[in-house]
A = this chain, B = another copy of it.
Amino acid sequence: MTMETNIRPQLAIEARWIIPVTPDGAVHEHSTLIVDAGRIRDLLPSADARQRYQPLETISLPHHALIPGLVNAHTHAAMSLMRGIAEDRSAITWLRDHIWPMEQQMVSERFTRDGTLLACAEMLRGGVTCFNDMYFFPQAAAEAVLQSGIRASLGMVVLDFPTPYAANADDYLNKGFAARDELRDHERITTCLAPHSPYSVSDKVFSKILTYADQLGVNIHLHLHETTDEIARSEAQFGMRPCLRLDGLGLIGPNLLAANCTHMTDIEIETFAMQHAHVAHCPASDLKLGNGIAPVARMVEAGINVALGTDGAASNNRLDMFAEMRLAALLAKSAGDAAALSARRVLEMATINGARALGMDDNIGSLEPGKWADLVAVDFSAIEMQPCYDPVSHLVYVAGRGQVTHTWVAGALCCERGILAHMDHAELKEIATQWQGKLKPFHQ
Task: Name A residues whose Cβ lies closer than 8 Å to a Cβ of B.
Answer: 81, 83-85, 87-91, 94, 118, 121-122, 125-126, 228, 284, 287-293, 316-320, 323, 326-327, 330-331, 333-340, 342-343, 381, 383-384, 386-390, 393-394, 397-398, 400-402, 425, 428-429, 432-433, 435-436, 439-440, 443
B327 near A330: Cβ-Cβ < 8 Å: yes
User: A398–B90 Cα gap in the complex (Å)?
Assistant: 19
Contact of A334 among B88, B125, B292, B389 (CB under 8 A): B292
- The complex places the Cα of A326 from the Cα of B398 at a distance, in Å, of 15
Judge whether A338 and B443 touch: CB under 8 Å.
no
Give the Cβ gap from A119 to chain B, nearest Cβ, in Å. 10
B residues near A402, Cβ cutoff 8 Å: 400, 402
Contact A88 B383 (CB under 8 A): no
User: Quick one: which of B121, B316, B330, B337 contacts A383, CB cutoff 8 A?
Assistant: B121
Q: Which residues of B contact A433 (CB under 8 A)?
A: 386-387
A221 to chain B minimum Cβ distance, whole angstroms, is: 24
Which A-B residue pairs are the 7 nearest by beta carbons? A290-B338, A386-B432, A387-B436, A402-B402, A287-B330, A317-B397, A389-B443
Given contacts A84-B390, A290-B333, A383-B425, 13 further A-B contacts (CB under 8 A): A81-B387, A83-B386, A84-B393, A85-B389, A87-B397, A287-B331, A289-B338, A293-B334, A323-B400, A383-B429, A387-B436, A389-B439, A390-B443
Establish whether residues A398 and B84, one from each chain, have CB atoms under 8 Å apart when the complex forms.
yes
A400 to B78, CA, bound (A): 22
B contact residues around A337 at 8 Å (CB): 90, 290
B330 near A284 (CB under 8 angstroms)? yes
Q: Which residue of B lies closest to A383 (CB)?
A: B121
Does A386 contact B330, Cβ atoms closer than 8 Å?
no
- With a cutoff of 8 Å between Cβ atoms, the chain B residues found around residue A389 in the complex are 83-85, 436, 439-440, 443
Most B CB contacts (10 A, CB to CB) among A327, A334, A339, A387 go to A387
Minimum Cβ distance to chain B for residue A38 (Å): 26
A387 adjacent to B435 (CB under 8 Å)? yes
Q: Is the CB of A343 within 8 A of B394?
A: no
Number of copies of this chain that the complex holds:
2
A400 CA to B326 CA, complexed, in Å? 14
Contact between chains at B288 and A397 (CB < 8 Å): yes
Q: CA of A383 to CA of B440 in the docked complex: distance in angstroms?
A: 18
Q: Once bound together, how far apart are the Cα atoms of A129 and B211, in whole Å?
A: 60
Contacts of A317 on B, CB cut-off 8 Å? 393-394, 397-398
Q: In the assembled complex, which residues on chain B have CB atoms less than 8 Å from the CB atom of A394?
A: 84, 317
Give Cα A398 to B125, complex, Å: 15
List, in ascending order, chain B residues with CB within 8 A of A126's CB.
384
Nearest opposing residue in chain B for A391, CB measure? B84
Q: How far is the CB of A205 from chain B (nearest CB, A)?
A: 29
| A285 to chain B: closest residue by CB | B330
Q: Which residue of B lies closest to A83 (CB)?
A: B387
CA distance A180 to B233 in the complex (A): 63
Assess whether A393 is in contact with B338, with CB atoms less than 8 Å apart: no
Q: Are A390 and B87 in contact (CB under 8 A)?
A: yes
- Contact A338 to B386, CB < 8 A, known contacts A318-B397, A331-B287: no
Q: Are A381 and B331 interface neighbours, CB within 8 A?
A: no
CB nearest neighbor in B for A343: B87
Q: How far is the CA of A402 from the CA of B418 in the complex (A)?
A: 12
Q: Which residue of B lies closest to A403 (CB)?
A: B402
Contacts of A292 in B (CB 8 A): 334-336
Q: Which residue of B lies closest to A313 (CB)?
A: B398
- Known contacts A84-B393, A318-B398, A386-B428; A287/B439 CB under 8 A: no
A428 to B330, CA, bound (A): 28
